[in-house]
Amino acid sequence: MLDLHELLIIDGEAARGRARRGLPARYSSYAAAGAGVQACHNAALLLLAGRAEDDHPFALKYRLFERGRWPVALIGSSLHLF
Mean pLDDT of 47-74: 82
**Which H or E element spans position 79?**
strand 78-81
41 vs 24: CA distance, rounded Å: 28
> Residue 27's pLDDT band (boundaries 50, 70, 90)?
low
* Domain range annotation of the chain: 4-81
> Residue 25's pLDDT band (boundaries 50, 70, 90)?
low
Model pLDDT, residue 7? 66
* Assessment of whether the complete model's pTM goes beyond 0.75: no
43 vs 37: CA distance, rounded Å: 10
